[in-house]
Each structure stands twice: as C-alpha cells, then as structure tokens.
Amino acid sequence: MNKITLIIKREYLTRVKKKSFVIMTLLGPLLMAGLMLVPIWLAIKDKDIQRIEVIDETKTFINQFVNTATLQFKHEFRSIEQAKSKFYDENYTSILYIKNADKTPVVEMYYKKQPGFSTIINIENTIENVIRNIEIQSKFNVTKEQLAEIQPNITVKPISITIDGEEESKNVGISTALGFGGAILIYFFIFMYGVQIMRGVIEEKTSRIVEIIISSVKPFQLMMGKIIGIALVGLTQFLLWALFTGVIYTIIVGAFSIETVTSASQTGNLMEQANITELSQNPYQDVMDGFKTIPVFQLLISFIFYFIGGYLLYGALLAAVGSAVDSEADTQQFMLPITIPLIFSFVVAQTVMENPDGTMAFWLSIIPLTSPIIMMVRIPFGGVESWELVLSMSLLIIGFLGATWIAAKIYRTGILMYGKKITYKELWKWLTYKN
C-alpha cells in the first residue's frame, strides 16, 4: 500500500507542477465564464429592432400582431407594389404580405435582413390563432369577448404514491435538468481526463525509465497508483475550475444590472415568441418547491461517487490501451470498443428520462460501463431503491478493480514490446499468460 501511495504522490505532484496545468487551470475558468457571459453580452449589444410593414389584403389581421422588445409591426394600407418600390427608402426591415386565397391566406415575407427563426414562429402562430378563433366564432356562434374569456392554463402536477400511501409531488423539469446536467459533466470529465491516463502510460512506456520502476513495483500497484494519481490531478483541476468560474461569473454579472441580464436572457426565447405567455406568477418559488421533491443528499453523494468511479473505470480501461501501444496514433482501434458503451449511455439518456423505472433504465444503471451516466439520470426522478444503488456502486468498484488488473496484465507484457503492431489476439495472449 505504501508503494501505491508513493506512486500516487509522484503522479500528482509531477503533473500539478507543470506549467501547462497552471496555465489551463487559470484559462479554463475564463473560457467557461466567457461561454456563459458572451451570449448575454451579445444579446445586450445586439438589440436590432425589426420593423415589419404589414400589408394585409384580407383585412383580417389588422392590429393582431403584438409588438415586442425586438419586433415592431405597422399596418400600411397600400399595395404590395408600392411597398416594394419604397422599401429601401423607408426604415422597414421586412414586408409581411398577406394576400387573399380560397381558404387559407397566402403569406409572404420580403426582407432586407434575414428574419430569425423566432420571428417566423411569432408570425405563424399569430396568424394561426386568428384564423382558429374566427372559425370557432363562425361555427359555434361565439362572440369575440366570450372567446377571449376561454383561455385555460392547465398544468399537470405529477404525484407519486408510495406503498405506504404517502403522496409526493415531482417536478419533472427540474429532475430532467439535474439528471441531464449530471450526465453531461460525467461524460465530458471521463473523456477529457481519461485520455490523460492513457497518454501518461504511453509516455512512461516510451521512456525507458519505467523499466527501472517496474523492477521494484508490481504492475497492479503501478497501474493503481498511476490511475488514482492522475484522477486526483483531474479532480483538483475540475474543483479549481468550478471555484474560479463561479467567482469570475459573479464578479462580471455584478457589473450588469439584474434587469439587463434578465432582459438579455429573454431575448429570442422561442417559448415566449410562440405566445406561451401563461407562466407561473413566481417561477423562483416553483423551482424551490421543485427542489424539495428531489433526493438532494442522495443525488449529491451519488454524483460524487459516479463522477469519480466512472472516471476511474474508464481511466483504467484507457490505461490498458496505453499499455498495449507505442504511440497515440495506434490507440484508435482499441479506444472505439471502450468508448461505445459511454457514448451509447449518453445517447439513450433521453429515453431513460421518459421511463426512469423501466427495465432498460434499470439494467443500464447496474452495468458498470453505463451506470455512471444512466444512474445519474434516474436518481433525480426518484424511485431508485437503496439496494439498486448499493448493487450499482459495488459493481462499479469491482469493475474498476477488474479493469486495473487487466491494465496491469497488459502493462506487464507490453512494457517490453516495442515496434510491434498489437492485435486483439495478441492482447488475449497477454491476459492469459500464467506469470
């Protein structure tokens, strides 16, 4: 155990003292904060108002288009030919032309600047709603005032009933966001830092100093120390990134007024542009109430475990790849089978969210190669039994130890192999060597 500790210390200190580690630790938060803040800054700066001239031959849609912060509609009672001829002499950015047709009006839009997708959605929904209301009034003899009073706003509130008869409401939106967010973090963390373990093994293999190390340390001890040591480096950098990003984000956001940031974040919101305006009176309270239904403690502990456990498992497998090859260019043929389960679990995460208690969700959250992502998707929805969690975690630990043993077996033989093209058949021989 003392040898493993020494290897962990060596791997950790060697990497955190590198200039590249320090530079990336400082630049990473700036880049992440920039990714979050630049869209807001662009939205604040880019407040071009689209002035749309409406030529309505049907006379049906007069004063039906609602102005917003970025859209201004004005009805002009002239022909489309006149509007086109004066288009570049006036400050309109677009001409919305609605002409008569047998059943449904034909709508055309002439523009100087390409209108955004949200603008088109806004116009289409407005026209569809007006036509729908007219048809309802004519068919069912309903007045415009009566129709305006019929604006139902229904929200389905999911409530689970336990075997003991206890009721508990769930916020599906928050569960989905937490599950998918946790899955994304684990997914990218594994890929980002798992490759570092593979590269570290390749570097030591190509430098003959490892031949001296292996004479005094067992391959399993070397692999275990290397995997955990580099894992601690990645975890340290990740925690520093999270801390620095939060500080930088808070400082920069403090320079903006809350109203400005809120306005910028709402600009271009497709839901708003699609006339979905009946929102909760207190969305922040809804979010807080939603978090009360989430098993926060279980979620936090599980995230830390699967975050580290998933990385260690895939790090061990990638270390095995690094042990078998002489250069990074030769790793592609071996990396694909390893990364397929990880990619697959990320792809089916959406399906699991639709049925978090289904058979597929259960088995994928138990299998070590897919459990780090799938279990994190399931937990926010509740319903994960304690025995399922214990079984999944236990298998993940066993999977990590097994992958480390495999990496050590391959490393023991591969460390002395230079210039030879390795195949799967050759790897199997290495694994079955007695000693």
**Better-scored residue on pLDDT, 362 or 263:** 362
For the chain, domains (ranges, CATH) are: 50-149 (3.40.190.10), 170-432 (no CATH)
Among the residue ranges 3-12, 41-50, 115-124, 257-266, the one predicted with the least confidence is: 257-266
pTM (two decimals): 0.65
50 strand-pairing partners: 71
At 419 the pLDDT is: 62
What H or E segment, with its residue span, contains residue 168? strand 167-169
Residue 409 contacts by C-beta under 8 Å, 6 or more apart in sequence?
219, 430, 431, 433
Confidence of residue 280 (pLDDT cuts 50, 70, 90): very low
- Mean pLDDT for 71-93 is 88
| Per-residue pLDDT at 164 | 67
Indicate the range of 53-62, 154-163, 165-174, 283-292 predicted with least confidence.
Answer: 283-292
Give the mean pLDDT of the chain: 78
Q: Residue 336: pLDDT above 60? A: yes
Q: What is the pLDDT of residue 42?
A: 65
Is a pLDDT exceeding 90 seen at residue 392? yes
Whether 62 contacts 68, CB under 8 Å: no
> Do residues 37 and 249 touch, judged by C-beta distance below 8 A?
yes
CA gap 396, 42 in Å, rounded: 44
Query: Residues 3, 225: contact at Cβ < 8 Å?
Result: yes
pLDDT above 90 for 391: yes
Q: Quick one: which of 328, 335, 322, 312 has its CA closest to 225?
A: 312
Q: What is the CB-side half-sphere exposure of residue 115 using CA atoms within 13 A?
A: 23
Quote the CA–CA distance of 52 and 67 in Å, as a whole number: 10
If you average pLDDT over residues 175-180, what whole number do you get? 80
351 pLDDT band, cuts 50/70/90, is confident
More confident residue, 326 or 320: 320
How many beta carbons lie within 10 A of that of residue 301, not counting itself? 14
Confidence of residue 256 (pLDDT cuts 50, 70, 90): low
Q: What are phi and psi of 129, to 5 degrees?
A: -65, -40
Chain length of the chain = 435
Confidence of residue 270 (pLDDT cuts 50, 70, 90): very low
What average pLDDT does the segment 195-216 reach? 72
Mean pLDDT is highest, among 20-34, 255-269, 357-371, 420-434, for 357-371
Give pLDDT, residue 290. 54
**If pLDDT is split at 50, 70 and 90, which confidence band does 40 have?**
low
Predicted confidence band of residue 217 (pLDDT cuts 50, 70, 90)? confident
Contact 155, 268 (CB under 8 A): no
**pLDDT of 236-252, one tens digit each?**
888 888 888 778 777 76
* pLDDT digit string, tens, across residues 104-153: 788 888 988 778 788 888 888 888 888 888 888 777 777 767 766 776 66
